[in-house]
Structure 1
Amino acid sequence: MPKRTNPTCLDCGLNWSHEAASGRRCFVGRACISKRSRYRHRADDLERQAAANSRRKQTGSSSRRVLQLPIIGYRTPPKIQLILYRDTKESPVHAIAAKVWDDGECVAEVEAQHAIGIHQNKLRETLKQWKAFLQTEYGDQGEVKISSLPVKHCSLCQQAGSDSDAE
């Protein structure tokens, strides 16, 4: 909180000349010279501040500039999605695929591969290898998500169905 204005200093600053003020008992030198100047020009300073504030309000801007800088620093790691095509959790895996998502865009994709007839242990091992490869390629800190889709969405079966329809 600012100090209160000393009425003696205010009177000295407004009504006394420098020579007369320097002869007073309370005159301290540099501090008094600074105070006297501030008190003498106080009305002008307040007027100047009020004018600047009203200009700022009229234009709707302040003296601060707003800068648009690119965002640097934190970036979300890519997300790796392993897709299993099967109808239920208990049913065997029909096909497997993978996608890598970075900032909402698919940056890499492993096309669907049929897994019919492959032993469950071999399938698990293949998924671990895919996951390890994609993590080394796109970052270890990335989130790995395993999702399931119904067999009717298998892209290989849809391509085979459209090829037989064309003939």
Structure 2
Amino acid sequence: MRCAALSAAQAKALHDSDGDDCWDSKVCPSRRSYIRNRDRRNQARRRKRYAELQTLEVPEMGLPQITYAVLIVYREPGDSPVHAIAAEVWQDQEKVAQVPPIYCCQMVPSQVHVYIQKLLELLKQNYGIKKFASLVRLDPYQCSIEGCFLHPKVG
């Protein structure tokens, strides 16, 4: 509606029976008013919504504590054997338990999978954890096993 910017008399002259005959006196005045004032109305609505959001109070909710386990695999990148496996149990942002790493160098892949399944059974009994939330892959040189063959003894 380009005629919204025109005065009512100009719009009627342009669109009345002498013009293109699209003027409807029941509809056109309110449409023209809406189009002329929509930016101001929308801005007022935005301000009102913003003000409501500023005063909105979020009720305090006691969120349940989330307990999850992380599997830590010490392994070189690529298709390399697993050096060691460890696990950590977290409750929200706090570590509550840690399964120390064990060597897997002498294990075949099926033995590693069996160990992980037994580890999950233990976690399910103690913490109700059915699966690992994530897997962290670390370089074998970060292995924390005391006396690891990757860490030469100094002294």
- Normalising by structure 1, report the TM-score: 0.50
Structure 1 letter corresponding to 2:71:
L
Instruction: Identify which range, 127-136 or 139-148, moves more after superposition.
Output: 139-148
With over 3 angstroms needed to count, the CA separation of the structure-2 counterparts of 1:103 and 1:142, relative to structure 1, is farther
- Tell me the residue number matched to 2:113: 124
- 1:77 is the counterpart of 2:66: yes
Which residue of the other structure, out of 143, 148, 152, is the alignment partner of 2:141? 152
- 1:109 is the counterpart of 2:98: yes
Structure 1 letter corresponding to 2:105:
I
CA-based RMSD of the aligned residues comes to 2.7
Distance in 2 of aligned mates of 1:143 and 1:77: 13
User: Is the CA contact (8 Å cut-off) linking 1:79 and 1:102 kept in structure 2?
Assistant: yes
- Tell me the residue number matched to 1:93: 82
Paired residue secondary structure (1:121): helix
TM-superposed CA distance for 1:76, in Å, is: 3.6
Which residue of the other structure, out of 112, 133, 136, is the alignment partner of 2:125? 136
TM-superposed CA distance for 1:138, in Å, is: 1.0
Residues paired across the two proteins, number:
97
Structure 2 letter corresponding to 1:85:
Y
Structure 2 letter corresponding to 1:130:
L
Distance in 2 of aligned mates of 1:159 and 1:93: 14
Q: Percent identity?
A: 26
Structure 2 letter corresponding to 1:117:
Q
- Tell me the residue number matched to 1:18: none
Runs of 5+ unmatched residues, structure 2: 1-58
TM-superposed CA distance for 1:77, in Å, is: 2.3
Structure 1 letter corresponding to 2:66:
P
With over 3 angstroms needed to count, the CA separation of the structure-2 counterparts of 1:140 and 1:99, relative to structure 1, is closer
TM-superposed CA distance for 1:103, in Å, is: 1.5
User: Is the CA contact (8 Å cut-off) linking 2:90 and 2:97 kept in structure 1?
Assistant: yes
Distance in 1 of aligned mates of 2:84 and 2:122: 19
- Normalising by structure 2, report the TM-score: 0.53
Q: Which has the larger radius of gyration?
A: 1
With over 3 angstroms needed to count, the CA separation of the structure-2 counterparts of 1:158 and 1:152, relative to structure 1, is farther
Misfit runs of 4+, over 4 Å: 157-160
User: Is the CA contact (8 Å cut-off) linking 1:77 and 1:142 kept in structure 2?
Assistant: no
Alignment of 1:18-57 (within 5 A): none
Runs of 5+ unmatched residues, structure 1: 1-67
